[in-house]
Structure formats: C-alpha cells, structure tokens
Amino acid sequence: MTEIQWEAIKNCDKAFDGIFFYALKTTKIFCRPSCTSRTPNPKNVEIFYTAEDAINHGYRSCSRCRPDSMDWQGAKNELAKKAQEYMDSHYTDKFTLNTIAKNLYINPCYLHRTFKEIIGCTLLEYQHQTRIKHAIRLLIETKLSVSYISYEVGYSTLSHFSRVFKKMIGTSPLCFRNDNKK
C-alpha cells in the first residue's frame, strides 16, 4: 500500500473509487476508498485494483459502500431517490415527513437532512414543485377549471394553490393559462 492510497482510505476520498479497492484481512470485507466505515489499521489492509480480484481472494463486498456495484452512488443518494419516487407517486396525497420516513423505514430527521443535502430543497418544497409541474401540464393541455386542477394536484384550497403557484411561477394560474393558450 502506497502513502497516497493510505491517505485516500483515511480521508474517504471519492476520487480514488474504481482505481483501487482495499480489503481488511480481519473481516474479509473489501471496500471503496470512500467508504465511511471506521478507519482500518494499516497492517490489516490489502490493496486490489479490481473488485473481481478481491472476490477471487476470498473477500466479500462491504454492504455500506457496495464496491462491487460502481454505478451505485451511495446510501444518501439512494435514500433521496426513494423519497422522490414516493413523493412523485403520491404527490396528490396529504402526507407528513413522518409518513414518508415510516414508508422508507428511516429516521425522519435523517431523511429531512439527507434529502435537503442531496436534492437541494426540503421535502415540502419538492412536493410543491411536483404539484405545480402537474398543474402547469393540466392548465396547458386541458380546459379544466383552475379550482378543479388545484384539487386534482392535491391542494385542499384554491387560495393555497394560487399562492404557491404565484410564488413559484410568478403569476396566477389563470394568467398563466391565458398567456400559454395553444
């Protein structure tokens, strides 16, 4: 193991992912250099340049960093993606942070923090964005009333829908429809 490899392991450096893998002789597990597990004792580390080499030497992949799946982007990205998928399929429902967290089997505070870190907005902001995106499509493609559309995308009152729409788009739903007639 070189000094550069050790520094990459110690600092959980993502830049070295896929370039090499490290395995622990004590646990018989191999990891990416960016794995967030506890820093290993250097005397127990063995270096491999492919995941297949590590597997062929009797090591199994780490369940935290999944080094055998290079397209995997990490647990936080996976959690944020699952939360997005849940909200995209339930955007018309009334739900809370606790509801989503319970469905994903995760702590609500961790979900909130992780989602904001990865996606860049809160779950509520994302829900509003999703609802408004669907409302825009309905305003342009249908002749449904604005009131009906507000209920259709999940808002319980027209005034709340109009307030959120105007804040995000800069105009009222009716003005938006009139400006975007086919």
Q: Which residues are catalytic?
A: 31
Helix (H, G, I), strand (E, B) or coil at 87: helix
Residue 24 near residue 45, CB atoms below 8 Å: yes
Distance CA 176, CA 181 (A): 9
Q: Which residues contact 7 (CB under 8 A, 6 or more apart)?
A: 13
The pair of structure tokens assigned to 28 is: 């018989």
